Structures are given as C-alpha cells and as structure tokens.
Amino acid sequence: MNDAIEQRTERVERIENASPLWRGITVWHAAFGGIFAWMAHLVFLASFMHYTHLHPGYGWTLHAATGFCALVTISSILLAWRLHRIASGADAAGYDDAGQMLFFAQFGLLLGIINLALILVEGSYVLFIPRG
C-alpha cells in the first residue's frame, strides 16, 4: 500500500515540478481543452456556414472543423484520464498536489465528454440543416 502511495506521489511531483509550459499543457489542456475546442467549433461553424452556402465547394471545411475539434477534445479527455490514473486514491477535496490533480482530472473528464457531445451534435447539424 505504501509503495502505491509513493509511486503516486512521485508521478504527481514529476508533473508538478515540470516546466511551467509542460505543466500548463498537461493539466490545463486536460481540464479546459474541451471547452476551448467546443467554443472554436461553435464560432467557426456559425461564421462559416453562410460562406459555404455561397461557395458550396468549401462545405468540406465544416466537416473538417468538426473532426479537428473532436480530436482536440478527445486528446483532452485522454489526458484527463491519464491524470486521473496517476492521482487515483488521493482525496479530491484535499489540499495536496495529488488531490488537486485528481479534482482537475475528474473535472476535465466531465467537461471533455460533455463538450465532445456538443461538438458532434453541432457537426451533425451540417448534414441536416440547409445552408443559407
């Protein structure tokens, strides 16, 4: 049991003591990557829909945006899942680094799944709603 706690502490400390850029990518992308991907998807589809109506040859860009934003969101979900595995067993309400990482991982998993669903639903509108 002590071995598992020591390994968790070592992994969490490795992430916490990494460079600010790497830690930001690891933790913040896991927590908020899905939100930013969903916002970018929503803004792109809303702003580009009329353009693709005027120029039908560019309709593929709406599908490409859906695929790209879905992949970004899936990467944030996978990263949150990795952080969840690393910090599992910690107290999510605790003040230690492992507890905070576990909270961010759970938060990222929930937001990532919700935002992936939003991206896929918005992307399906392209197939059914006429552009114009």
Structural domain including 58 reads 2-128
Q: Which candidate, 8, 69, 46, 43, places its Cα nearest to that of 126? A: 46
Q: Which candidate, 99, 67, 70, places its Cα nearest to that of 86? A: 99
pLDDT confidence tier of residue 2, bands split at 50, 70 and 90: low
pLDDT confidence tier of residue 41, bands split at 50, 70 and 90: very high
The domain tally of the chain equals 1
Q: Name the helix (H) or strand (E) containing 128.
A: helix 97-128
Mean pLDDT lowest among 29-33, 59-63, 127-131: 127-131
Q: For residue 117, what pLDDT is reported?
A: 97
Q: Phi first, then psi: what are they for 36, rounded to 5°?
A: -65, -35
Alpha carbons 116 and 35: distance in angstroms, whole number? 9
**Tell me: the pLDDT tens digits for 47-96?**
998 898 899 899 899 999 999 999 999 999 999 998 888 888 777 777 77
pLDDT at residue 16 tops 70: no
pLDDT confidence tier of residue 104, bands split at 50, 70 and 90: confident
pLDDT at residue 1 tops 60: no
